[in-house]
Amino acid sequence: MKNILSLLFLMLPFLLQAQGVVNNGGKIVVGTGSFFTISGNNSHLTNNTTATTDGTFDNNGTIRLQGNLINNAGNNLFINPNGVGEIVFTGITGQAVMGPSPTKFERFTVNNATGLTLQQNVITEVLTLSTGPLYLNAQTLSVTSNAPAAITRTNGYIVSEQTNNSGRVNWNIGNSTGTHIFPFGTASGSYIPFVLNLTSGNIGNVAVATYATGNNNQPYPTTPDLVTNVNGWDGKDNSANTVDRFWQIDKDGPSGTATLTFTASPEEVGEITMLQAQRWNAAQAIWEFPLPGQSNTATSATVPDVTAFSPWTLSGNNSPLPIQLLTFTATLNNAQVNLHWKTVSETNTDFFTVEKTRDLKNYQTVATVKAAGTSKQIITYNAQDAQPYSGVSYYRLKQTDLNKKTYYSEVVAINLIENSVFAVRVFPNPTEGTINIFIGGDDDKEYTLLLTDMVGQRYYNKKVKTELTYHTFLINQNRYLPSGVYLLTVAGAGHFYSRKVVIQ
């Protein structure tokens, strides 16, 4: 016959010292309002039974544990959940939750200055962080209550810090509007909370992981989304202006609009100012333009109206995408040149300057146009060059922000003598297959097509000749190119053109 140990504690404290508790088939009942304390040198709580009726713990009170919790049975361990049973980890040395399968708690409290480490996934209705770090250690901590107060802290914090984003908090927020704080901390103890304030919709489960990087922002995230760079608008490395931390945010709900607050440590921010949050678009392999309406502190940025998630980071004054320039074109109008450009979004843009040059080195101002400032709509701008150079003129667009930072567009060219426009169009862009390069201009002209990555490595270099007035050339990227952002250059016959190409 199986031996069953049944311990019942009703409104009374019970203390076991210098020994652990091993449950091999008994049912331990902790009554409402009572305390079951296991302390001492060998104060582990081990469960070896798979029973769900006679075995495990019927906890309606508080279990205080100074050792490890070892659940070898592969079940939830605590039965009859009613939302009041609590287990408090109160050790003075490092503790762990161990075992082959997830353990489910009702109320889970960490009160250990040295810290508690997860060695299995944990599910809890309520999490309280009183003191010390909770090391996720490549495990998932799931919180099932959608109430904003389901996670609370006094001095404790959660350490994620896995470069593969495997240490994460999964919170079933659903349609519970309000401020949900993910109380992360760094490995050295700096408090860096991530805040999600759901304003509308059903966001479902929200999984968040974060980790610090080196000064060059590496290693980049690889899973569940691959990040390939922290390049600026011109394709050059922008790590000096990017905070040394990434966040991975995922949701499984059908909707959800939220205000997000990202916080990094002072060491990770360094001397970067005017922080703003930016999202990595994995489909296009680019950093999206920062959403408008953001606010910041010295170590944080808050961004409203977020509906898309995945990897995020914080950038400073020289952000990876200062504006999104949709088009910049030049057309001939008798002896004048009309210049047009469109922006799909702007943030803190002061004005635009149209510049021209003969030699691609020395530029002259053609016109200055006031910008919209901040906008999420497509805006069309126009300018005119009444005195273009005789022969070939090259034009570029300079953007100046309110903070006096400047950025430049790609170059377009016009030949006034030949009354022709050297035009290049690249499509589709982004592309998943071939790259089509359309060159408009004179017949029988030779051009060099050069495709490089953003650090200058060559992937395609070929001379082509226009046999018709309008000619299209193809690059089959399947044979040459991995996914990423590339720079296409078309040069020859006194002309020069460059454009970024995104390979998906």
Nearest to 489 by CA among 503, 499, 477, 501: 499
Q: Is residue 26 part of a domain?
A: yes
**Contact indicator for 45, 16 with CB cutoff of 8 Å:** no
Residue 366 in any domain: the answer is yes
Residue 338's CATH number: 2.60.40.10
Higher pLDDT, 201 or 467: 201
Q: Does 153 share its domain with 255?
A: yes
Distance CA 374, CA 454 (A): 28
pLDDT of residue 56: 75
Mean pLDDT, range 306-315, rounded to an integer: 93
Least confident of 67-81, 257-271, 314-328: 314-328
Q: What is the pLDDT of residue 3?
A: 35
What pLDDT does 51 receive?
A: 61
> Long-range contacts: 131-134, Cβ < 8 Å, 24+?
131/155, 131/156, 132/156, 133/157, 133/158, 133/159, 133/185, 133/189, 134/110, 134/158, 134/159
Same domain, 299 and 408: no
Return the pLDDT at 139: 97
The answer on pLDDT for 89 being more than 70 is yes
What stretch of H or E contains 275?
none
Q: Are residues 388 and 308 in the same domain?
A: no
Residue 94: pLDDT band (50, 70, 90) is very high
Mean pLDDT, to the nearest integer, of 443-459? 78
pLDDT surpassing 50 at residue 70: yes
Is pLDDT of 319 > 70? no
Domain count, the chain: 3
What one-letter code names the amino acid at 156? Answer: G
For 279-339, give the DSSP string. EEETTTTEEPPPPSS-EE-SSEEEEEEE---EEEEEE-SS-S-SEEEEEEEEEEETTEEEE
Residues 358 and 302 in one domain: no
CB-based contacts of 387: which residues, under 8 Å, 6+ apart?
none
8 in any annotated domain: no
Q: Is residue 231 one of the residues assigned to a domain?
A: yes
At residue 318, does pLDDT exceed 50? no
3-state secondary structure of 477: helix
Q: What is the extent of the structural domain holding 24?
A: 20-316
Q: Please check whether residues 342 and 273 belong to one and the same domain.
A: no
The verdict on 265 and 392 lying in the same domain is no
Same-domain pairing of 37 and 118: yes
Nearest Cα neighbor of 95 from 115, 110, 124, 109 is 115
pLDDT of residue 10: 41
Question: Residue 269 pLDDT more than 80?
Answer: yes
Which one has a higher pLDDT value, 386 or 19?
386
User: Residue 19 burial (CB < 10 Å; 0-12/13-18/19+)?
Assistant: middle
Task: Let me know whether 245 and 195 are in one domain.
Answer: yes
191 assigned to some structural domain: yes
Both 25 and 164 in one domain: the answer is: yes
Considering 385, 416, 447, which residue would you say is the last residue of a domain?
Answer: 416
Is residue 339 domain-resident?
yes
Q: Which two tokens stand for residue 177?
A: 């509007």
Q: Which two tokens stand for residue 84?
A: 């009041």
In a domain, 13, yes or no: no
pLDDT mean over 207-223: 95
Q: Give residue-wise pLDDT tens across range 392-450.
A: 788 888 888 887 877 777 677 777 765 555 667 777 777 776 787 877 667 778 888 88
**pLDDT value at residue 422:** 66
Looking at residues 459-468, what average pLDDT do you find?
81
pLDDT at position 11, please?
Answer: 38
Pair 351, 371: CB distance under 8 Å: yes
Residue 264 has pLDDT above 60, yes or no: yes
Whether residue 148 is found in the same domain as residue 251: yes
Domain termination residue (choose one: 369, 385, 416):
416
Query: Within this chain, do residues 388 and 482 fall inside the same structural domain, yes or no?
Result: no
Do residues 56 and 62 make contact, with C-beta atoms less than 8 angstroms apart? no
Mean pLDDT of the chain: 84
Q: Which of 316, 335, 356 is the last residue of a domain?
A: 316
Mean pLDDT of 276-296: 80
Position 4 in a domain: no
DSSP state of 431: B
For residue 417, the model assigns a pLDDT of 61
Specify the 3-state DSSP secondary structure of 167: coil
Asked if 177 and 299 sit in the same domain, the reply is yes
Residues 205-227 have a mean pLDDT of 95
